[in-house]
Chain A
Amino acid sequence: MSPRAAWRLEGLGFGEVYDYVPGKADWSASGLPTEGTLASVPKIGDGARADVPTCSPREGVGAVRERVRAAGWDRCVVVDEGRVVLGLLREKELASDPETKAEDAMRNGPATFRPDEPAEKIAERMRRRGAAAVLVTTPDGKLVGLLRRDEAERLAERAASEFG
């Protein structure tokens, strides 16, 4: 629809017309701000912790484990140079041989969710599956943060009380 509008605008004599093809869904799914009556409905991006530890796939698990524990965390997200999620090191994987590279120990392809997912929907899913935390990424796979279940539940309660 918007490419057609852009084309029509050009035809009407407007000289400089651009179209943002991925549009509103892409914008919101990247965790960027929006305006409007539903803009303040709690979304999982609101509660994702961006300070979750990350490591490169080449790092040794032993060094990663020390860093993660010193920061008070129990898991680490394995990312590439562009912060694209490659895998996850949970407590079980962090307990691997210290010399093992993160890429060999990590859990491959962890489930990820977009920042604009409604908190109520994801909290319910986490409850049903017994998930302690989920990863939040942009549509192109870049890490936004980690959402813990207690935070998801808190956002869901707020959504129910304010918008339910």
Chain B
Amino acid sequence: MREGHEVAEFQTLEREELKAKIDRGDDFVLVETLPESAFKKRHLPGAVNLDDMGKVSEMFPDKDAEIVTYCTNFN
């Protein structure tokens, strides 16, 4: 890590890994970060919508929770 630069600590997940977690029923929160309108049209199974980071504490009071985020809309 270079001094003075913040580096993201989060890890990335591939499609097959995420699918396996859903199929196994792992205890985690799947979070779509797109606007609510896009979320309502189509989202991944069991996902919740977080389009405003100001809602984080209210939506996720447990900081030990495992969280998987995703975005990218359709063309």
Question: A: which residues have CB within 8 A of B?
Answer: 1-10, 12-28, 30, 32-39, 116
List the A side residues contacting B67 at CB < 8 Å: 6, 9, 14, 16-18
Interface residues of chain A: helix, strand, loop or mixed (majority): mixed
Q: Which residue from A8, A14, A36 sits with its C-beta under 8 Å from B65? A: A14
CA–CA, A39 and B74, complex, Å: 12
The answer to whether B42 and A2 have CB atoms under 8 Å apart is: no
Count A-B pairs with CB separation below 8 Å.
138
In the complex, what residue of chain B is closest to A14 when comparing beta carbons? B63
18 A–B contact pairs at CB < 8 A?
Answer: A1-B33, A1-B34, A2-B72, A5-B50, A5-B71, A10-B8, A15-B63, A16-B64, A18-B10, A23-B70, A24-B32, A24-B43, A24-B70, A27-B18, A27-B70, A35-B42, A35-B44, A36-B41
CA–CA, A116 and B73, complex, Å: 13
List the B side residues contacting A33 at CB < 8 Å: 45
CA–CA, A10 and B71, complex, Å: 17
